[in-house]
A and B are shown apart, each in its own frame.
Chain A
Amino acid sequence: MIPKMKVLVVTRSGKELIKGGLQLNDSATVADLQEAIHKRRNAGGDELRTSRKYYPSRQRLTLPVQPGSKERPTVLHYQKSLSEYTKGSTSELTVVFKDLGPQVKYSTLFFFEYLGPLLLYPIFYYFPVYKYFGYKEERVIHPVQTYALYYWCFHYFKRIMETFFVHRFSHATSPISNVFRNCAYYWSFGAFIAYFVNHPLYTPVSDLQMKIGFGFGIVCQVANFYCHLLLRNLRSPSGNGGYQIPRGFLFNIVTCANYTTEIYQWLGFNIATQTVAGYVFMVVAAGIMTNWALGKHRRLKKLFDGKEGRPKYPRRWVILPPFL
């Protein structure tokens, strides 16, 4: 007889999600549990006639916490074995279930976010859009506006290519509502900037400033690409995610060198095109990335604390030397 483990699945309000709980092998992993929840087989092994909408990436399983306790619940990791969470003492485990709602892959999310700016910006360049804003149809196109078009479209094309061919995503997915939120952000800002750079009354900067801006921007984009390659090589192709200490190139000095190069790349674009809209976008994006960078930096420092044989995370800038 294979020793069986009983798992009780409750919702956050305390109700049993699956009456009678589930029976799994002792050696089962969290992923097996998630599969079982998805298929909703009860203790007797019969399939319940309820809907099977809770596919694994929608499930968030945590260990119960004491009521009133302020500690954050432990999230069950899909690759770990269930016995790791029972602390070996019992063969019964209670997990708390949360439905994260419909999920999409990160690659799907990124693709749609980036598609907007890639397609919307050229509309302002090529089509007589400004007619509808009350401007005359004839306009003079300055060289900088043409270069800006190429630069912008190359940037978002690069991002899409990286999404499919370079980035190694962790197992995680994202709630579908983020698709709307993120697309609103990227698409609105894309249109906002495109409107001003391609405006018939656009005032270009000096030739030298334009060259410095685009030149610097291109260097940063190349550096950013290299950063992405380095990050990719930290993770194995089997897609199990996980964290390593980033090393090499700019990562030796700054934790989130990929964000750093991205921000500076926008700075290059803005130096060349000089619009309030472009600078606002850069500042907002820098703010968002700084938030992520702080989280990542903290997580790495916590993970690599130098104890129990783990390496200690070296002293580094978080995202923007010499500020942070």
Chain B
Amino acid sequence: MARFLSGVRFQVFYFGVKTLNEFGHEHVYDAVEKPLLFAQTAAFLEVLHSLVGLVRSPVSATLPQITSRLYVTWGILWSFPEVRSHILVSSLVISWSITEIIRYSFFGTREAFGSAPSWLLWLRYSTFLLMYPAGIISEVVLIYNALSYMKESGKYAVRMPNKWNFSFDYYYASLVGLAIYVPGCPYLYSYMLGQRKKAVSKTKAA
């Protein structure tokens, strides 16, 4: 399963970079849309794996990751086409796919062979140092850009009065979402740094 998903992500990466080179950043989204939507949505299974204990990562680390991915993929890019031509879509797609190809290959080889090669281990625990900030900045800017379109269109809003006395404003919910990035990013980044420390010390001891 891990190998299949890394294959899909490789597709995303390949098409993304190809389109970027040939046609410019405005067209990257259209080129990668289908495999991107598929791959990101399938990733919600990761949370399931965490919960069930199949993967060792805690739910507190996988859940924010997956939530932000699904939110940006479906809630921003798919919902607001005006944002798709932004240049940071390219950096988003590239940083996500690199991270995930490495991650899934890592798990895949562990699944298949019992352990992963040390260069792959190094990649998994080192590329995030650059990919995380790149991905996070892309996500935040894209969400921010979508905000004005949310307000204008009133998409996904539930207004009162209604029988269930409930209202929902996607614009404000997104502001809350952006606010969550403020404590969320240091938490995830330091979690990965901690994981890196553990992984590196393990290989030294081995």
- Chain A interface (Cβ < 8 Å from any Cβ of B): 196-197, 199, 201-203, 273-277
Q: How far is the CB of B91 from chain A (nearest CB, A)?
A: 35
Minimum CB distance partner of A278 in chain B: B165
A199 / chain B contacts, CB cutoff of 8 Å: 160, 165, 167
Minimum CB distance partner of B166 in chain A: A276
Cβ of B164 < 8 Å from any Cβ of A? yes
Please encode chain B, from 169 to 201, with 1 for each CB lying within 8 Å of some chain A CB and 0 for all others. Answer: 000000000000000000000000000000000
A201 / chain B contacts, CB cutoff of 8 Å: 160-161
Interface residues of B in 136-169 (CB under 8 A from A): 160-167
Q: How far is the CB of B121 from chain A (nearest CB, A)?
A: 25
Q: How far is the CB of A10 from chain B (nearest CB, A)?
A: 24
A interface: dominant SS:
loop
Bound complex: CA A208 to CA B134 (Å):
58
- Assess the B161–A196 pair: CB atoms within 8 A: no
Q: How far is the CB of A58 from chain B (nearest CB, A)?
A: 26
Bound complex: CA A202 to CA B164 (Å):
9
Q: How far is the CB of A275 from chain B (nearest CB, A)?
A: 4
A276 / chain B contacts, CB cutoff of 8 Å: 164-166
Bound complex: CA A124 to CA B139 (Å):
36
- Assess the A196–B166 pair: CB atoms within 8 A: yes
Bound complex: CA A275 to CA B158 (Å):
13
A-B contact pairs, 13 of them (CB 8 A): A196-B165, A196-B166, A196-B167, A197-B165, A199-B160, A199-B167, A201-B160, A201-B161, A202-B165, A203-B161, A276-B165, A276-B166, A277-B166
If A202-B160, A203-B163 are given as contacts, then 18 extra A-B residue pairs at C-beta distance below 8 Å, sorted by A number, are A196-B165, A196-B166, A196-B167, A197-B165, A199-B160, A199-B167, A202-B161, A202-B165, A203-B160, A203-B161, A273-B165, A274-B164, A274-B165, A275-B164, A275-B166, A276-B164, A276-B165, A277-B165
Bound complex: CA A274 to CA B160 (Å):
13
Q: How far is the CB of B173 from chain A (nearest CB, A)?
A: 13
Bound complex: CA A273 to CA B165 (Å):
9
Bound complex: CA A37 to CA B163 (Å):
61
Q: How far is the CB of B11 from chain A (nearest CB, A)?
A: 39
- Assess the B162–A203 pair: CB atoms within 8 A: yes
**Which 8 pairs show the lowest CB-CB distances between chains A and B?**
A276-B166, A201-B160, A201-B161, A275-B165, A203-B161, A196-B165, A276-B164, A202-B165
Bound complex: CA A199 to CA B162 (Å):
11
Q: How far is the CB of B205 from chain A (nearest CB, A)?
A: 16
Q: How far is the CB of A205 from chain B (nearest CB, A)?
A: 9
